[in-house]
């Protein structure tokens, strides 16, 4: 399963619309896209996961790495609307502890964290 | 016989110290001899055949760089010769120039369609013959270079695969023996790496006769690097190493220390792991998990209890503290540790098998011997994904307590 990525600028950040699976096979595609956004000086990356059906162990590692890299530049990463199966995988790995999860764009932009 | 002297000014000698070979196949002796003489003057080594069948034998035996072939011959004609060459995997890259008395466009098209590389009219000038032979030789040389490169890659690939195979045997040698690991504790397992080398590992750590540790770890990624990282973590988790480097057999303390020592790699690779301690006297199972979902107890009563707590995988946050949870293992209970490669097996439409279906399968098998349960569960996942090979490493360790 491939992955489509679409960038959309928002005030003080970038929303990355993701569709497909975030897996080992798509890691380079995702890494390259996110790194390009970070290089442009983006401080807040919002990953819209609504179109993501599955995240494998490689995908989780990438999310942790991306979050660490943004923190190095005083930036942050948030996640928007993960599907229930993905949300379950995320919670098991305690990812919301590193990357806050939001259910709508306004909250993500405002940075008010909701219970994951 | 002394070697034929080669004029020093020829193209052939400029290209090669050894003269390139041309096979001339023609049933008319006069045409054949005159073409051969001309090619020899150009510095080529020439071999001759008077019909198609002899020509094919020579082509197979001598592997000339170029073949010049007459169209009209009794027995096997030129185009048939070309077809046979193209169907033969050994010969199919041979360069063939087809020679005809008259160069009709239709005839040229047919000859090319049936396998010739180029055409030469019998009335061609000396310059044209030279140019076409040289063009054919250039192509032949490029093809030979490609074939040599391909063979070289194949040899290296085979050597690499042998290396991987021996590394895989080493990794499998790290797995525990099946059967009784302590009096009253039996282990059965299955290990199916997706490539030759897997990133999953599991083992038992005996601490005397009544106390043991056991773990299953899953390094993210596939291939050599995760296998090496897994071997490194499993070395850290050996009994003597834990004693010296951690000084505790508490699963939470062990994972907290492992988390500091195995940070996220530059590529975002890490481990998930479950580590448990089983006390056979008190029947207490104490366990800690780091992002690992595959662990449950199948009680003798039939109930299935998952041993999962939310927890960051190792290396995600080096300040993280892992703590252990506890449950009781009764005689007849079975403990299953497995990697996500099993329950994340995708169906052809991309739907994952899932932990619920996995647990249903275990439940259905009831009290069948553990030796049968594990292969049966794997077979069920294979039916789900409709293929034998798992896209991710699969490791399952089952443990049964009889006392």
The 3-state DSSP class for residue B44 equals coil
pLDDT for A40-50, tens place per residue?
A: 989 999 999 99
Helix (H) or strand (E) holding A22: strand A13-22
- Threshold 0.80, pTM exceeds: no
Q: What is the DSSP letter of B56?
A: H
Query: What is the spatial distance between Cα A56 and Cα A93, in angstroms, rounded to a whole number?
Result: 11
Write down the CATH number for the domain with range B11-149.
3.40.50.2300
Average pLDDT over residues B331-351: 92
Within 8 A of A53 by CB-CB distance, chain B residues are 350
Question: 3-state class of B348 per DSSP?
Answer: coil
Beta strands in B264-385 (DSSP E): 271-279, 284-290, 295-298, 304-306, 325-328, 334-338
Q: Dihedrals φ, ψ of A55, to 5°?
A: -125, 120
* Residues of chain B with C-beta less than 8 angstroms from the C-beta of A93: 272, 291, 310-313, 316
pLDDT of A115 higher than 50: no
Residue A60 within a domain: yes
Q: State the DSSP code for A51.
A: E
From the list A24, A65, A98, the residue facing B317 with the nearest CB is A98
Among A57, A68, A98, select the one facing B220 at the smallest CB separation. A57
- CATH no. of B174-401: 3.60.40.10
CA distance B394 to A94: 23
The two tokens of residue B88 are: 């033969």
pLDDT at B148: 93
Burial class of residue B339, CB neighbours in 10 A (0-12, 13-18, 19+): buried
**Residue A116: pLDDT over 60:** no
Q: Does B316 touch chain A (CB under 8 A)?
A: yes
Which residue ranges make up each domain of chain B? 11-149, 174-401
B182-214 pLDDT, tens per residue? 999 999 999 998 877 888 999 999 999 999 999
Is B1 a residue whose pLDDT tops 60?
no
What is the Cα–Cα distance from B367 to B40, expressed in whole angstroms? Answer: 84
B206, with CB counted inside 10 A (0-12, 13-18, 19+), is middle
pLDDT at residue B181 above 60? Answer: yes
pLDDT-derived band of residue A7, with 50, 70 and 90 as boundaries?
very high
Count of CB pairs separated by less than 8 Å, A with B: 71
Q: Flag the least confident range among A12-16, B3-7, B73-77, B364-368.
A: B3-7
Q: How would DSSP label each residue in B133-184?
A: HHHHHHHHHHHHHHHHHHHHHHHHHHHHHHHHHHHHHHHHHTSPPSEEEETT
CATH (domain of A30): 3.30.750.24
Please provide the size of chain B in residues. 403
Asked if A56 reaches chain B (Cβ–Cβ under 8 Å), the answer is yes
Is A105 contained in some domain?
yes
- By the CB < 8 Å criterion, does B222 face chain A? yes
pLDDT tens string B13-23: 455 467 899 99
- What's the average model confidence in pLDDT over B358-380? 95
Nearest to B268 among A56, A62, A98 (CB): A62
Interface membership of B291 toward A (CB under 8 Å): yes
Indicate whether A116 belongs to any domain: no
**Closest listed residue to residue B307, CA positions, set B324, B330, B321, B320:** B324
Longest dimension (CA), chain B: 102
Q: Residue A68 is part of which domain span?
A: 3-110
At residue A112 the predicted structure's pLDDT band, cuts being 50, 70 and 90, is: low
What digits encode the pLDDT tens for the residues A35-94? 999 999 899 999 999 999 989 888 999 999 999 899 988 899 999 999 998 998 888 888
Q: Please report the pLDDT score of residue B17 as a whole number.
A: 62
Q: pLDDT tens, B299-312?
A: 999 999 999 888 89
Closest CA to B258 of B289, B296, B214, B227: B289
ipTM of the complex model? 0.78
Domain count, chain A: 1
């Amino acid at each position: 399963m491939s992955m489509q990525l679409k960038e959309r600028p928002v005030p003080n950040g970038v929303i990355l619309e993701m569709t497909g699976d975030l897996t080992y096979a798509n890691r380079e595609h995702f890494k390259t896209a996110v790194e390009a956004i970070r290089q442009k000086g983006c401080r807040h990356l919002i990953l819209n996961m609504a179109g993501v059906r599955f995240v494998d162990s490689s995908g989780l590692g990438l999310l942790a790495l991306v979050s660490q890299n943004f923190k190095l530049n005083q930036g942050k990463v948030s996640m928007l609307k993960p599907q229930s199966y993905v949300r379950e995988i995320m919670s098991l790995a305690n990812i919301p502890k590193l990357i806050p999860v939001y259910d709508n764009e306004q909250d993500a932009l405002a940075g008010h964290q909701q219970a994951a | 016989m002394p070697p034929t002297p080669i004029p020093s000014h020829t193209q052939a000698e400029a290209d090669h110290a050894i003269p390139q070979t041309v096979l001339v196949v023609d049933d008319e002796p006069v045409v054949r001899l005159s073409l051969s003489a001309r090619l020899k003057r150009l510095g080529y080594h020439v071999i001759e055949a008077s019909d198609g069948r002899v020509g094919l034998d020579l082509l197979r035996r001598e592997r000339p760089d170029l073949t010049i072939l007459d169209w009209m011959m009794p027995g096997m004609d030129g185009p048939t010769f070309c077809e046979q060459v193209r169907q033969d995997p050994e010969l199919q890259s041979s360069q063939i120039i087809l020679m005809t008395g008259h160069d009709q466009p239709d005839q040229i098209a047919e000859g090319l369609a049936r396998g010739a590389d180029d055409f030469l009219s019998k009335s061609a000038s000396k310059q044209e013959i030279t140019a076409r032979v040289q063009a054919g030789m250039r192509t032949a040389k490029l093809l030979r270079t490609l074939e040599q490169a391909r063979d070289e890659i194949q040899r290296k690939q085979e050597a690499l695969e042998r290396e991987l195979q021996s590394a895989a045997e080493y990794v499998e040698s790290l797995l525990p023996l099946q059967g009784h690991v302590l009096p009253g504790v039996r282990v059965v397992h299955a290990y199916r790496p997706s490539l030759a080398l897997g990133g999953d590992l599991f083992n038992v750590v005996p601490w005397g006769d009544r106390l043991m540790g056991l773990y299953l770890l899953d390094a993210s990624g596939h291939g050599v690097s995760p296998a090496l990282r897994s071997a490194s973590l499993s070395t850290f988790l050996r009994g003597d190493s834990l004693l010296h480097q951690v000084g505790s057999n508490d699963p939470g303390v062990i994972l907290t220390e492992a988390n500091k020592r195995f940070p996220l790699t530059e590529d975002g690779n890490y481990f998930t792991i479950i580590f448990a301690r089983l006390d056979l006297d008190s029947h207490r199972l104490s366990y800690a998990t780091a992002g690992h979902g595959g662990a449950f107890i199948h009680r003798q009563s039939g109930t299935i209890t998952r041993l999962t707590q939310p927890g960051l995988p190792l290396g995600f946050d080096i300040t993280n503290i892992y703590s252990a949870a506890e449950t009781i293992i009764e005689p007849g209970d079975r403990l299953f540790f497995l990697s996500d490669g099993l329950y994340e097996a995708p169906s052809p439409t991309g739907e994952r098998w899932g932990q619920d279906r996995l647990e249903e399968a275990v439940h259905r098998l009831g009290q069948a011997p553990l030796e049968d349960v594990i292969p049966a569960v794997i077979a069920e996942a294979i039916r789900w994904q409709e293929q034998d090979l798992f896209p991710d490493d699969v490791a399952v360790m089952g443990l049964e307590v009889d006392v």
